[in-house]
Structure 1
Amino acid sequence: MNDTIAATDSELPYAAWAEEALRAVVVEALDHVGRRGLPGEHHFYVTFRTEFPGVSLPGHLKARYPQEMTIVLQHKFWDLKVDRGAGSFSVGLSFGGVPAMLVIPFKAVTAFADPHVRFGLRFQAPEPAPAVAELAEQAAGEAPAKPQVVSLDAFRRRRD
């Protein structure tokens, strides 16, 4: 009898479930540190997609990191808060001496690492939905629809 199991198409989304379970590890780690601080030599590298819906960061950072950014939570960060209901976390960091508050949805996170204990995770961030501006650009590039003439007589009240 063969002990190997052939990969089959599953109607159950095991990969998605496993990824969500691993994202929960990130949530727990950030929540723990937000409430109690970083113990010992632990520190986190968090990589996320800056264009993902719900990411909030100053314009100069968005311009410098238009697709992806890695932040380090080690010595100088403040107000680390996990919002489980919103599915995001916020943190204050200093960039070149300029303070900034970032809001990052957990689904935007593509990597998480704690180098002190050689722990790391990688995630597939879902493709963001097209922005309204992108949809408008697509619509503008298509051939304009023929104008239709609508008679207002159909909407007028009839007098008997």
Structure 2
Amino acid sequence: MTRSIDYGNLMHDAMRGLIQTVLSDIAERGLPGDHHFFITFDTRHPEAELADWLRERYPEEMTIVIQHWYDNFEVGEDGFAITLNFGNSPEPLYVPFDAITTFVDPSVEFGLRFETQDYEEDDESDEDELADETPPAAERGEAEVVSLDKFRK
């Protein structure tokens, strides 16, 4: 039996640890300077918590902005809780770190992108999926840096 080091998953864990460290500091001390975050997460993640109307509006993924107003910001081992304002309606959210698909701080042109995960039970496979022998990037444990161009106006 050959043993190998799973560098891909180790990198994902390290990058999520970086996000946890950054968010913990912000929860404790506030946002410095022009720093702000665009965080996209998978709303289908079984541990993601958001209002029903937000889940209906964003059935697959949602991007939140942590910048001017936020409240009840707490960072834990597995995710973070925060209250954000949606059209003058404060709503609490809980975002597990492994639900995050992108994390961007445009003020310093920093970004991380994680490949998405499928949280649903295995359905019958499509013939197209069977024809593709290359494993998805999430299975290979790869992460990519996201281009900031799509966040610029």
Aligned 1:71-82 pairs, distance under 5 A: 71-82=64-75
So what's the TM-score if we normalise by structure 2?
0.75
5 Å matches for 1:124-135? Answer: 124-130=115-121
SS in 2 for 1:116: helix
1:127 Cα shift?
2.1
Using the aligned pairs only, state the percent identity.
40
Cα distance in structure 1, aligned partners of 2:5 and 2:46:
27
The CA distance in 1 between the partners of 2:80 and 2:88, in whole Å, is: 22
Name the amino acid aligned to 1:83: G
Deviations 1:83-114 (A, max 9, x none): 11xx0100000101111000010000000010
Shift of 1:129: 4.4
Task: State the structure with more CA Rg.
Answer: 1
Q: Is the 8 A contact 1:80 1:90 kept in 2?
A: yes
Q: Is 1:69 the counterpart of 2:62 in the alignment?
A: yes
Q: Is the 8 A contact 1:107 1:125 kept in 2?
A: no
Residue 81 of structure 1: how far off its partner (Å): 0.7
Please state whether the residue corresponding to 2:23 is helix, strand or coil: helix
- Listed one character per residue, the Cα deviations across residues 57-95 of structure 1 (whole Å, up to 9, x for unaligned) are 0011000000000000000111111111xx010000010
Distance in 1 of aligned mates of 2:19 and 2:116: 14
1:19 positional shift: 1.2
Greater relative contact order (CA < 8 Å, ≥ 6 in sequence) = 2
Counterpart residue identity of residue 92, structure 1: T
Could you say what secondary structure the match of 2:28 adopts? helix
How many angstroms apart in 1 are the aligned matches of 2:120 and 2:59?
Answer: 16
Q: Distance in 2 between matches of 1:34 and 1:124?
A: 26
Amino acid at match of 1:110: T
Are 1:18 and 2:17 an aligned pair?
no
The normalised TM-score by structure 1 is 0.72
Q: Is the 8 A contact 1:23 1:106 kept in 2?
A: yes
- Unaligned 5+ segments in structure 2 are 124-153
- Specify the alignment match of 2:24 in structure 1: 31
Q: Distance in 2 between matches of 1:125 and 1:90?
A: 21
Distance 1:80 1:51 in 2: 22
Name segments (4+ residues, structure 1) moved above 3 Å: none
Cα distance in structure 1, aligned partners of 2:99 and 2:31: 23
Structure 1 unaligned residues grouped into runs of 5+: 1-9, 135-160
**2:81: which partner in 1?**
90
